[in-house]
Chain A
Amino acid sequence: DGGITQSPKYLFRKEGQNVTLSCEQNLNHDAMYWYRQDPGQGLRLIYYSQIVNDFQKGDIAEGYSVSREKKESFPLTVTSAQKNPTAFYLCASSIRSPNRDYVNNEQFFGPGTRLTVL
Chain B
Amino acid sequence: DQQVKQNSPSLSVQEGRISILNCDYTNSMFDYFLWYKKYPAEGPTFLISISSIKDKNEDGRFTVFLNKSAKHLSLHIVPSQPGDSAVYFCAARWGVIKAAGNKLTFGGGTRVLVKP
Q: Which residues of A contact B (CB under 8 A)?
A: 4, 6, 31, 33, 35, 40-45, 48, 50, 58, 88, 90, 92, 94-98, 102, 105-112, 114
A92 vs B44: C-alpha distance when bound (angstroms): 9
A94 vs B100: C-alpha distance when bound (angstroms): 12
Number of A-B contacts (CB under 8 A): 69
Interfacial chain A residues near B80, Cβ < 8 Å: none
A111-B44 contact given A31-B101, A98-B102, A106-B34, CB 8 Å threshold = no
Q: Which residues of B contact A (CB under 8 A)?
A: 6, 9, 31-32, 34, 36, 41-46, 49, 51, 89, 93, 95, 98, 101-109
Write the nearest CB–CB distance from B19 to chain A, whole angstroms: 19
A42-B41 contact given A98-B32, A105-B102, A107-B102, CB 8 Å threshold = no
Interfacial chain B residues near A95, Cβ < 8 Å: 102
Beyond A58-B103, A90-B43, 17 additional pairs, beta carbon < 8 A: A31-B102, A33-B103, A40-B9, A42-B109, A43-B44, A43-B89, A48-B101, A50-B101, A94-B101, A95-B102, A96-B101, A98-B101, A102-B32, A107-B102, A111-B43, A112-B41, A112-B42
Contact yes or no, B103 A48, CB < 8 A: yes
Q: Considering the complex, give the chain B residue whose CB is closest to the CB of A88.
A: B41
Q: Considering the complex, give the chain B residue whose CB is closest to the CB of A96.
A: B101
Write the nearest CB–CB distance from A29 to chain B, whole angstroms: 9
Contact yes or no, A94 B41, CB < 8 A: no
Q: Considering the complex, give the chain B residue whose CB is closest to the CB of A30.
A: B101
